[in-house]
């Protein structure tokens, strides 16, 4: 799946920074190859499928196999009019449900690393509250039972990939999966519930809180009652995953930041909670004799920024080297 970066050599990485080799030169090459860039792209909307074109577009996604409250608006960015020739990133937005703005922040990364990015929008009207988005709409609290899979928000990702491949004629058999903030909550929980996913690599950054691989507690704080968890937990540990944490992501005044117990037991802020989550994953993997294929990197001076963490995601997806885990 991975192809050579040729002119975009990003092998040199250090925790918290991306050392873009000849960044200005690389950007100029992309500009020359892609006359329509993120800043000048003509926005178009297709009724129900992605188009082969350069820049930003949107379309509506629906699937006969799913039971969704409404069609989902998907924002897409491609650095070339041949998205069928490039790897695909499926990117999950934050709690403000601003997928379009998130995608704009990804555009330069997509240009540099030659990636197509899809950003499905789980809007506040049709996917109201964290239960319908961050937690995947998997649990019926009133009836104390799991909801059928065709109604899970998590169930959108794989058919979304299939639709993209068919519509543009892509030969990709896997995709990259990325989430920031509430999107990171979505993505790591997706791994528990959809273990047979086709994500080649996974990136999560700056989640507000986490579902721990704790087989003694029920979802959403643990995994005890998740269907087929004994099988899926091995996939969870073995998936190539990078957890990126902004060292300055310590503000707790946001309305979207969960406060009080049991959330506070994971840490005082997003940075602390992320570090504690990673340590818990490491400990759980050892206890279960599982192979862990995760890395954590902390980013000095970075707060709750999708734009900054997207740089890390692009490098992780398209490079063969990444630094060892760091704690600061």
Average pLDDT score over residue span 102-124: 97
Average pLDDT score over residue span 36-46: 43
Q: What is residue 1's predicted lDDT score, i.e. its pLDDT?
A: 37
Q: What is residue 48's predicted lDDT score, i.e. its pLDDT?
A: 87
What is the DSSP code (8-state) at residue 50?
Answer: -
What is the DSSP code (8-state) at residue 13?
Answer: E
Percentage of the residues of the chain whose pLDDT score is greater than 90: 82
The CATH number of 13-318, from 3.30.365.10, 3.20.20.20, 3.90.1300.10, 3.40.50.1820, is 3.40.50.1820
Q: What is residue 319's predicted lDDT score, i.e. its pLDDT?
A: 82
Which tokens hold the place of 283? 């400990």
Residue 240 CA, distance from chain mean position: 13
Residue 272 — φ and ψ, nearest 5°? -65, -40
pLDDT at 40 over 70: no
The predicted-structure confidence for 121-154, as pLDDT tens digits, reads as follows 999 999 999 999 999 999 999 999 999 999 999 9
Mean pLDDT of the chain: 87
Q: How far is the C-alpha of 224 from the C-alpha of 297, rounded, in Å?
A: 28
Contact (Cβ atoms closer than 8 angstroms) between residue 91 and residue 175:
no
DSSP for 201-267, written as a single string: EEEEE--S------TTS-TTTS-TTSTTHHHHHHHHHHS-EEEEEETT------TTS--STTGGGG-
pLDDT bin (cut points 50, 70, 90) of residue 289 is: very high
Each domain of the chain, given as residue ranges in start order, spans 13-318
């Amino acid at each position: 799946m991975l192809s050579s970066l040729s002119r975009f050599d990003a092998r040199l990485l250090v925790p918290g920074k991306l050392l873009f080799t000849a960044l200005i030169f690389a950007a100029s090459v992309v500009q020359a190859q892609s006359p329509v860039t993120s800043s000048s792209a003509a926005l178009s909307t297709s009724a129900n499928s992605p188009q082969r074109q350069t820049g930003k577009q949107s379309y509506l996604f629906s699937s006969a196999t799913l039971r969704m409250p409404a069609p989902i608006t998907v924002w897409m960015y491609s650095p070339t009019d041949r998205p069928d020739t490039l790897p695909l990133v499926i990117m999950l937005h934050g709690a403000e449900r601003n997928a379009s703005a998130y995608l704009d922040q990804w555009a330069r990364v997509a240009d540099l690393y030659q990636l197509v990015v899809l950003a499905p929008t789980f809007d506040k009207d049709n996917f109201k509250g964290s239960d319908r988005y961050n937690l995947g709409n998997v649990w019926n609290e009133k009836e104390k039972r799991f909801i059928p899979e065709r109604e899970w928000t998590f169930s959108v990702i794989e058919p979304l990939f299939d639709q993209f491949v068919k519509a543009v004629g892509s030969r990709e058999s896997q995709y990259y999966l990325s989430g920031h903030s509430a999107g990171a909550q979505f993505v790591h929980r997706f791994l528990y519930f959809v273990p047979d996913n086709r994500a080649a690599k996974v990136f999560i950054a700056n989640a507000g809180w986490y579902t721990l691989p704790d087989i003694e507690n029920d979802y959403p704080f643990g995994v005890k009652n998740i269907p087929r968890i004994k099988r899926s937990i091995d996939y969870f540990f073995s998936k190539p995953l990078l957890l990126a944490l902004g060292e300055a992501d310590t503000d707790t005044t946001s309305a979207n930041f969960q406060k009080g117990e049991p959330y506070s037991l994971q840490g005082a802020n997003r940075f602390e909670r992320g570090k504690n989550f990673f340590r818990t994953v490491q400990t759980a993997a050892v206890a279960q004799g599982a192979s862990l294929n995760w890395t954590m990197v902390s980013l000095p001076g970075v707060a709750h920024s999708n734009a900054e963490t997207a740089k890390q995601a692009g490098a992780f997806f398209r490079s063969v080297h990444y630094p060892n885990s760091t704690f600061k």
